[in-house]
Structure 1
Amino acid sequence: MSLARAIATVGGITMVSRVAGFIRDSLMARYLGAGPEADAFFVAFRLPNLFRSLFAEGAFTAAFLPLFSKELHGHGKPHAQRLAEEALAVMVTALLGFSILMALAMPVVVAVLASGFTDDPDQFKLAISLSHITFPYLALISLTALLGSILNALGKFGPFAAAPILLNLVQITGLLLSGPLGIPAHIMLAYGVPVAGLAQLIWMAVACHRAGMDLRLRRPTLTPGVRKLFALLAPGILGAGVYQFNLLIGTNLASWLPTGAVSYLQYADRLNQLPMAVIGVAVGTALLPVLSRKVQDGDRSGIRDTLSRGLEFAALLGLPATAALMVMPGPIIQVVFQGGAFTAEATAATAAALQAYAIGIPAFITAKVLSAAFFARQDTKAPVRFAIIVLVSNVLLSLALIGPLGHVGLALAPGLTAWLNVALLAWGLHRRGQLDLDRRLWSRLWRTLVAVAGMVGVILAALSLLDRFLSGRPILVEVAALGTVIVLAVLTYFSLCALTGAARPAEVKALMRRPRNGGGTPVASTPGMPE
């Protein structure tokens, strides 16, 4: 599978997941709105969602996959499977103890996550209760990540990318049943989290069985391989999760603002996560196995080509997404969320937060690519040093901006400090002589910016023409109007990309072709493609 095909596989399935997520979030906004129950649920959901991002999309995969890949290609499948079983045994033991400890300490945990809730005993108690329900998701998603990393190393990206769809489907079902069953929506949503986690674990176990990788549970032992894994994992949790930790800081500070601030940030981040997940996670997921193999082979030319193409894909897909969210946040929020308990005031507040968040989208995606260059070399320590600097900067910037800008300042801070993270990662690679990029990347970048500028012009013109159909109309009319703007923007952008040479259809078609080497490991590019 080529790099582009792998990115398309992960990105396409993730897009399906995010569409299902939009449906869930739209229902959630209408059922919950932005009141105290919504704020309490989002705090309870933030903790397991943090671990989902760290383990399913970040630190665990970054630490485990290169080790598993090295065993697989260096010593064969039996040795790789033994490493996975040893990791599984220790993880089950550790997660069981950690889950019990966290359950006992949940009041303290919630006080840390949302210290502002302590002034409202009822809301604080509700957040603790919901957190007890959602927290088992941590253990389930951690084990799911282990199985998913195995499949990614085997070149099978689809099952792991599809797993989050189950979470959305379970929560959609819960919301729709909450009324007929007479159970509050926030309670149904909370119980849906661990139910979905169990469904995801079963899904991944079946996928591993089909791939011939059935793991048996061994007696937990700290073997050299397991010690190496956790040595890489510990700093990687902070390095890979810097954005999520920044969101936690924002959630805590937002809990001190008037009711609704936590929800505004959560709803805005849901839309902000669309390009970051579809593009950033897809590129990072597909890139890491390729870079790991190239590093093990000592293929400097292959490393340069793979890293350059990863950054090229990041710019090609990330820049237009950022521009669109910054130019038209209001119409998007209004069509997706407004209605029922979600008011026009909530739409305006959420749109402002989305616009601020969007500033950091290109930085987040670029950081995924640059981080993969460290992780492929089994280096998780350098990114964590940079992450500490970024976290401190985010705290200081959030405290500086919350006064004049309120919740919008809390959305702006992680976006700005994400660019600091990119600068530090790039500097770290350059200092080691590992930021080796080809000329084609720089040539394509300015062409992409020209295409983005043209797309923005079309969006502004389309919004002006269709403005009367985007508000105060039946929902189907509003959806059709917004869809028209989006389709025009997409057609304009890719047409301009073809005209300027930012992306050439023949090259994309060649990249998407399966390689002829017969192997299951992704390759970086198609031979003969011009630089």
Structure 2
Amino acid sequence: MKSSLFSSLFTVSGFTFLSRIMGLLRDIIFASIFGAGAAMDAFSVAFRIPNLFRRFFGEGAFNQAFVPVFSEYRLEKTKEDLKLFLAEVSGTLGLILLLITVLGMLFSSQMVMLFASGFAHDATKFALTQDLLRLMLPYLFFICMTAMYSSVLNALNQFAIPAAIPIVLNIFLIAGAWISGYFTEPILALGYAVFLAGVVQLLVLFYTVKRQGLTMLPRINFSSPGVKRVMFLMVPAIIGSSSSQINILINTQLASRLETGSITWLYYSDRLVEFAIGTFAVALGTVVLPKLSELYTKGDTENLSKTIDWGIQLSLILGIPAMLGLMFLAEPLLAILFMRGEFYETDVLMAARSLVTYSLSIPAFFIIRILAPVYFARQNTKTPMYFSLVAIAVNICLQFILVRFYQHAGLALSSSIAAWVNALLLGVGLVMMNIHHFKALITRRMIALIPANIVLVLILIWMQKFDTFWFEGPLALKLPAMIVAIVAAIILYFGVLHISGFSLARLKGPLVRMKD
């Protein structure tokens, strides 16, 4: 079990890290070519809409509802039953996605108003957002079907291709940005790139699942027992797993009423936070959910508890330093990565404000990625839904208050607070339901986090003193200097952690082996 979980996590993290690097390169190119103006604001809003639905119907709620049922079919029923189940789910889900896509394109104007009503006062920006949305909405269908086939492979403990497939989108977007000068409206090139990337991603995943011998002609069957179970679990999971997405929707709506550039500043700060979360937190959740589902189906409560403890420990060990790094190095990182072309020093300073407040959410999202799957593995999607509703309510209340004082940074801060509320409720819920009590976290080993992070903070404060160099130095010097400094800080952090009493061998996986 140790090697399986660790190797799977390493595989997913590796490909996800490569995808995030490509995404970072993509954003660097975006910043240079499009800056933080009205066109980039329009793209950020239009692209956020299919991405929001992707999180609802694809890798978010659907994955959490589908994987436990798929695992049960795989362990307890015949391969023919499993193929039929997959065909009925793919056909039914595909129909729903097609209807949503068509309706979204027909009512694109209303969709833009729902997400960014502040654009209504600028007819050019509103029309551009609407054009981009029409181009990119079909991506909703392609990427959600891709996410379904990714879930199948994840449940089969095949993580490499699903983890690597987002790289395709980044490649297409980078190509779109480079050829955007040939378009009358350059930003529209990105819309076409998103559409084409969705087609290629779906074809690759479908072919991969077909090679497993699990595909047959999709069937629309809302009365299928398997489809009913997935839909029953999915409806509350849509709410329970999407508080952060609803928070983003509200953020976008309020930011559209702030000065031009606010949405883009939030976008770039969010991208760096997503880089930290996506590299390990998403990988951790992807690997843990199938394992928890399998352990729960087998009734292996001992290993289930060990897996939860391992995940939480890893979340704190990785999440806290990631948060501190982005908080203390917000301006240097943004300056090195994006300050060129149409992205100016003012944009760096404004984006840094929201990056600092966004980064507070990183450990919370790591923890959520571990605790929420515990409920989903038990096919309990209602309880996380209730907790998520509380977090959403907290976020909405705080957003309207904090935006008045801190503008776009206040929106990011409210999202971070809401994420912590959600994480704490999930943890308290497991204790109250007598599922898990986190006793393994209250140990001398975990206290080793304190000196390790103190040393890290001292290093980060020292790096801040070279502020002028990070802003004005030549890229050929400051980029490698930043990389070397970060790598050295990471090595020192884990070194102090190990010396202080936390054996790094424990990161490999739970201490108890699988039972036969």
Q: Normalised by the size of structure 2, how large is the TM-score?
A: 0.96
- Please report how far the alpha carbon of residue 314 of structure 1 lies from its aligned counterpart in structure 2 after TM superposition: 0.8
> What amino acid is aligned across from residue 116 of structure 1 in structure 2?
G
SS in 2 for 1:257: coil
CA 1:40–1:458 in structure 2 vs 1: closer, same or farther (change >3 Å)? same
Task: Kindly provide the amino acid, as one letter, of the partner of residue 323 in structure 1.
Answer: L
Equivalence for 1:174: 176
Question: Which residue is 2:500 aligned to?
Answer: 500
- 1:297-349 per-position Cα deviation (integer Å, ceiling 9, x unaligned): 11111111011011111111111111100111000000111111101000000
What is the match of residue 223 of structure 1?
224
The 1-side partners of 2:451 and 2:207 are apart by 46
* Amino acid of the structure 2 residue aligned with 1:449: I
Equivalent position of 1:487 in the other structure: 487
Residue 99 (1) aligns with residue 101 (2): yes
| RMSD over aligned Cα atoms | 1.7
Runs of 4+ in 1 over 6 A off after TM superposition: none
Question: Superposed, which structure 2 residues align to 1:9-20 within 5 Å?
Answer: 9-20=11-22
* Aligned pair partner of 2:44 in 35, 42, 50: 42
- The equivalences for 1:138-287 within 5 A come to 138-179=140-181, 181-287=182-288
Is the aligned partner of 1:122 residue 2:133?
Answer: no
- Post-superposition shift, 1:144? 0.7
How many residue pairs were aligned? 512
Secondary structure at the counterpart of residue 340 of structure 2: coil
Which runs of 5 or more structure 1 residues have no equivalent in the other structure?
512-523
Q: Flag structure 2 segments of 5+ consecutive residues without an equivalent.
A: none
Matched, 1:471 2:495: no
Counterpart-to-counterpart distance in 2, 1:142 and 1:197: 9
Cα offset for 1:525?
A: 4.6
Aligned to 2:75: 73
Question: Aligned residues: percent identity?
Answer: 34
> What is the CA-CA distance between 1:218 and the residue it aligns to?
2.5
Cα deviation digits, residues 111-131 of structure 1 (max 9, x gap): 010011111111111111111
Return the offset for 1:182.
4.2
2:428 aligned residue = 427
2:115 alignment partner, one of 103, 113, 116: 113
Query: 1:55·1:142 contact (CA, 8 Å) conserved in 2?
Result: yes
Q: Which amino acid aligns with 1:96?
A: L
After TM superposition, give the deviation of residue 442 of structure 1 in Å. Answer: 4.0
Paired residue secondary structure (2:187): helix
Bigger mean CA deviation after superposition, 82-91 or 428-437: 428-437
77, 83, 90: which one aligns with 2:85: 83
Deviations 1:172-212 (A, max 9, x none): 11111223x34544111111112111111111112213333
Which of 121, 130, 133 in structure 2 is aligned with 1:131? 133
Residues 265 and 350, structure 2, Cα contact 8 Å, conserved in 1: yes
- Provide the rounded CA distance (Å) in 2 between the counterparts of 1:444 and 1:311: 13
Please report how far the alpha carbon of residue 448 of structure 1 lies from its aligned counterpart in structure 2 after TM superposition. 2.0
The answer on whether the counterparts of 1:90 and 1:222 sit within 8 Å (CA) in structure 2 is no
Contact 1:458-1:492 at 8 Å conserved across structures: no
Counterpart in the other structure of 1:515: none
Provide the rounded CA distance (Å) in 2 between the counterparts of 1:215 and 1:525.
Answer: 40
Matches of 2:296 and 2:444, distance apart in 1: 26
Contact map agreement 1:383 1:425 (CA 8 A) in 2: yes
Distance 1:390 1:291, change over 3 A: same
Aligned 8 A contact 1:280 1:314 in 2: yes
Correspondence list, 1:432-443, <5 A = 432-439=433-440, 442-443=443-444
Question: Residues 311 and 441 of structure 1 are in contact (CA less than 8 Å); yes or no, is this contact kept in structure 2?
Answer: no
Shift of 1:23: 0.2
Post-superposition shift, 1:467? 4.0
For 1:110, give the aligned amino acid: V
2:303·2:512 contact (CA, 8 Å) conserved in 1?
no
3-state SS in 1 of match to 2:471: coil
In structure 2, relative to structure 1, the CA distance for the partners of 1:175 and 1:36 (3 Å cut) is same
Q: Distance in 2 between the 1:274 and 1:441 partners? A: 29
Cα distance 1:86–1:525, how it changes in 2: closer, same or farther (>3 A)? farther
* 3-state SS of paired residue (1:364): helix
Q: How many angstroms apart in 1 are the aligned matches of 2:229 and 2:484?
A: 52
Map of 1:22 onto structure 2: 24
Shift of residue 501, structure 1, vs aligned partner? 2.8
CA contact (8 A) 1:62 1:236 kept: yes
Counterpart residue type for residue 6 of structure 2: A
Normalized against structure 1, the TM-score is what?
Answer: 0.93
Distance of 2:432 and 2:197 partners within structure 1: 44
Contact 2:95–2:220 (Cα < 8 Å) also in 1 = no
Please give the alpha-carbon distance, in whole angstroms, between the structure 2 residues aligned to 1:99 and 1:452. Answer: 46
Give the direction of change, closer, same or farther, for the CA distance of 1:183–1:78 in structure 2 (3 Å limit). farther
Shift, 1:484, TM fit: 2.2
Provide Cα deviations, 1:75-113, integer angstroms capped at 9, x if missing partner. 133222211111011112222222111111111111010
Distance in 1, matches of 2:259 and 2:367, equals 34
After superposition, residues 384-463 of structure 1 pair within 5 angstroms as 384-439=385-440, 442-463=443-464
Distance 1:418-1:298 versus aligned 2 partners, 3 A rule: same
